[in-house]
C-alpha cells in the first residue's frame, strides 16, 4: 500500500486529454494512445508487461510461464521476433516447435493477456548476429540498418511476412486478437550517427514502412528520441525515471520497453543480480516522475539459450535472476514484491491516468 501512496500523492485533480493516434478494426475493438497511456476500447490503461522469448523456452513450458506472469500481476507479454530462426535459409521458413510464434501468441491470448510484438528485425537480445540470418551477409552491395536498397528490400519483405501472418491468424487487437502494439527497429539511436545522413533517412523509411502495413495497432521505436510521428519513442534501461527524455510529442505516452531486471551472465564474469527493491523503486519513480503508464520487465523469464543461437559471450542460462528463473520457477522475493507493486499502482490507476501531476520539495534531497 505504501507504493500506492507514493504515486497517488502526486495527484491533485482530474483532467481530460484529447485522444490521438487511433486505429480501429472490423471487430469493433480499437487501440489508441494519447499523452498519458495506451487506450483500449476507449479506456486508458496502466499496463505491466514482461518479456519472455518463445525461442528460449519450449511449447510445453509456455502455459505455466504465462500463468505465472499473469498471477504476478502482468497484463502483457512482450517478445522479439527472431528472423534467423524463422528464415535460416533464404526463402525457407520455420515456424515449428519452439519457433511456433502463432502458438505462443495464442497461448497468451487464451490466458487473457495482451501481446507487445517487437519485430525489429534487428533485435540484439544477446542473440547470434542480432537476429539477422547469416545469409543476409552475402547479399550483393548490402549494408545493414541504413538507407540501403538491398537491406531495406529484405527487411521489408520479412516484416511484411510476419505482419501478414499475424493478420491471417486474426491476432491483432482490432481483429479480436491480443497484439496491442508492435516495435520496428531496436535501439537504433545508439548507432545512427555512424551512418551519417543515411541514418535519419532509414529511420523515416522504417517508420513509414511499418505504419503502411496497416496493422491496426500503434508502432514504437525504443531508444529513438526522434521517432517520427505516429511512432512512439520509448525508453530502455535501469532507471528510466531519471534517464528518459520523455515522449517526443505531448500526444504520446511514456512507455518503458525494457526495465532490466538483472544483468545477463557473461562467461568468466561474476553474476550481477539487481535487488528487488531497486527494480520496484525504479518503476514507481518512472510512473511518478515521467507519467509512465507502461512498464515491461526485461527479462521476466530469460530461459535457455538452446543450440548455438546465443551471442558468443553469453552463457546458456539467460537472465536467471529474473522474476521467473531459467526453468520457469518463481524467483523470490522479486516475483512477489513486483506483484504487490502492480496491485498498489492499479489501486491508484484512475488518478494516475487522469490527474494532474505536481511535486514539491521536502528538503534538499527529497521531494514529493
* Domains (range + CATH), the chain: 2-7+16-356 (3.20.20.80)
**C-alpha grid cell, residue 107:** 497461448
Alpha carbon distance 4, 348 (integer Å):
6
Between β-strands 355-357 and 11-14, what pairing exists: parallel, antiparallel or unpaired? Answer: antiparallel
CA 184 and chain centroid, separation: 11
Asked if residue 47 lies in contact with residue 38, where contact means CB atoms within 8 angstroms, the answer is yes
Interacting residues of 185 by C-beta distance below 8 A, sequence separation 6+: 120, 122, 145, 203, 206, 221, 224
Nearest to 231 by CA among 138, 127, 124, 119: 119
Tens of pLDDT, residues 213-254: 999 999 999 999 999 999 999 999 999 999 999 999 999 999
φ/ψ of residue 150, rounded to 5? -60, -40
Alpha carbon distance 197, 186 (integer Å):
19
Active site residues: 187, 258
9 pLDDT above the threshold of 50: no
Task: Render the burial of 337-366: b for 16+ CB within 10 Å, e for the rest.
Answer: bbbbbbebbbbbbebbbbbeeeeeeeeeee
Q: At 361, is the pLDDT very low, low, confident or very high (cuts 50, 70, 90)?
A: confident
pTM: 0.93
In 3-state terms, what secondary structure has residue 322? coil
Q: At 166, is the pLDDT very low, low, confident or very high (cuts 50, 70, 90)?
A: very high
Query: For the ranges 267-271, 276-280, 334-338, 361-365, which has the lowest average pLDDT?
Result: 361-365
Tens of pLDDT, residues 94-151: 999 999 999 999 999 999 999 999 999 999 999 999 999 999 999 999 999 999 999 9
Tens of pLDDT, residues 121-136: 999 999 999 999 999 9
Tens of pLDDT, residues 49-62: 999 999 999 999 99
Amino acid at each position: 500500500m505504501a507504493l500506492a501512496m507514493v504515486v497517488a500523492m502526486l495527484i491533485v485533480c482530474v483532467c481530460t486529454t484529447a485522444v490521438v493516434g487511433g486505429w480501429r478494426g472490423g471487430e469493433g475493438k480499437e487501440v489508441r494512445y494519447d499523452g498519458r497511456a495506451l487506450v483500449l476500447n476507449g479506456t486508458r490503461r496502466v499496463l505491466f508487461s514482461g518479456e519472455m522469448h518463445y525461442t528460449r523456452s519450449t511449447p510445453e513450458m509456455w502455459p505455466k510461464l504465462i500463468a505465472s506472469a499473469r498471477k504476478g500481476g502482468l497484463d502483457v507479454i512482450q517478445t522479439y521476433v527472431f528472423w534467423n530462426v524463422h528464415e535460416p535459409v533464404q526463402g525457407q521458413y520455420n515456424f515449428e516447435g519452439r519457433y511456433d510464434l502463432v502458438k505462443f501468441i495464442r497461448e497468451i491470448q487464451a490466458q487473457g493477456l495482451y501481446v507487445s510484438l517487437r519485430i525489429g528485425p534487428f533485435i540484439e537480445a544477446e542473440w547470434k548476429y542480432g537476429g539477422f540470418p547469416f545469409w543476409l551477409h552475402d547479399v550483393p552491395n548490402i549494408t545493414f540498418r541504413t538507407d540501403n536498397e538491398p537491406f531495406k528490400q529484405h527487411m521489408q519483405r520479412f516484416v511484411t511476412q510476419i505482419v501478414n501472418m499475424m493478420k491471417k491468424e486474426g491476432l491483432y487487437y482490432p481483429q479480436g486478437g491480443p497484439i496491442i502494439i508492435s516495435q520496428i527497429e531496436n535501439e537504433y539511436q545508439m548507432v545512427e550517427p555512424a551512418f551519417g545522413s543515411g541514418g535519419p533517412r532509414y529511420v523515416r523509411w522504417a517508420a513509414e514502412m511499418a505504419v503502411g502495413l496497416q496493422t491496426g495497432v500503434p508502432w514504437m521505436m525504443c531508444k529513438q528520441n526522434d521517432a517520427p510521428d505516429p511512432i512512439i519513442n520509448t525508453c530502455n534501461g535501469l532507471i528510466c525515471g531519471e534517464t528518459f527524455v520523455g515522449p517526443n510529442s505531448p500526444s504520446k505516452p511514456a512507455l518503458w520497453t525494457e526495465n532490466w531486471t538483472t544483468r545477463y551472465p557473461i562467461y568468466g564474469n561474476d553474476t550481477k543480480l539487481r535487488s528487488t527493491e531497486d527494480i520496484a523503486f525504479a518503476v514507481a519513480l518512472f510512473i511518478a516522475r515521467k507519467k509512465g503508464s507502461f512498464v515491461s520487465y526485461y527479462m521476466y523469464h530469460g530461459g535457455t539459450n538452446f543450440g548455438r543461437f546465443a551471442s558468443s559471450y553469453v552463457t546458456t542460462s539467460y537472465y536467471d535472476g529474473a522474476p521467473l528463473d531459467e526453468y520457469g520457477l518463481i524467483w523470490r522475493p522479486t516475483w512477489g514484491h513486483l506483484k504487490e507493486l502492480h496491485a498498489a499502482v492499479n489501486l491508484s490507476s484512475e488518478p494516475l491516468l487522469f490527474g494532474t501531476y505536481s511535486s514539491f520539495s521536502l528538503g534538499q534531497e527529497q521531494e514529493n
